Amino acid sequence: MTAVLEACIFATVMGGFFGIILKKNLMMKILSMDVMSTGVIACYVLVASHRGLFTPILQPGLEAEAIAYADPVPQAVILTAIVIGFSIQALMLVGVMKLARDNPTLEVSEIERSNTP
């Protein structure tokens, strides 16, 4: 089952990567970058997940036993990566909006052609 998940995550990352390289529209490039970052986050979650780990929440009345607790640090890293990815995507969309004011199209080749001296 893990091999299937790894293959799907790899396909997601590679699909986003090739979308960034091959697509000519700036909106499609931004969408491809978001797909690729989602695949990278999914890869990190897959690596960090282990069966048999419990949430590290101490409850009153229960003694601290030798239980395998999950490490909360990967969760914090993933949440930070999601927030940073969202802010980068918003910043890129603002840049595309500013480009759209001056250019009738969002095709990279047309923008480069119209802005070269």
pLDDT at 109 > cutoff 90: no
> Can you read off the two tokens belonging to residue 115?
């802005």
pLDDT at 41 > cutoff 70: yes
Neighbours of 34 (CB within 10 A): 17
pLDDT tens digits for range 90-104: 999 999 999 888 888
Phi, psi of 6 (to 5 degrees): -60, -40
**What is the secondary structure of 9-64 as a DSSP string?**
HHHHHHHHHHHHHH--BHHHHHHHHHHHHHHHHHHHHHHH--TT-B-----TT---
Q: Mind listing the domains of the chain with CATH numbers?
A: 2-51+68-107 (1.10.287.3510)
Instruction: Kindly state the percentage of the chain with pLDDT values over 70.
Output: 87
Give the chain's length: 117
pLDDT tens digits for range 25-39: 999 999 999 999 999
DSSP letter at 70?
A: P
Separation CA 48–CA 56 (nearest Å): 15
Q: Are 102 and 26 in contact (CB under 8 A)?
A: no
pLDDT tens digits for range 47-102: 877 666 677 777 666 565 667 777 778 888 899 999 999 999 999 999 999 988 88
H or E segment to which residue 73 belongs: helix 73-102
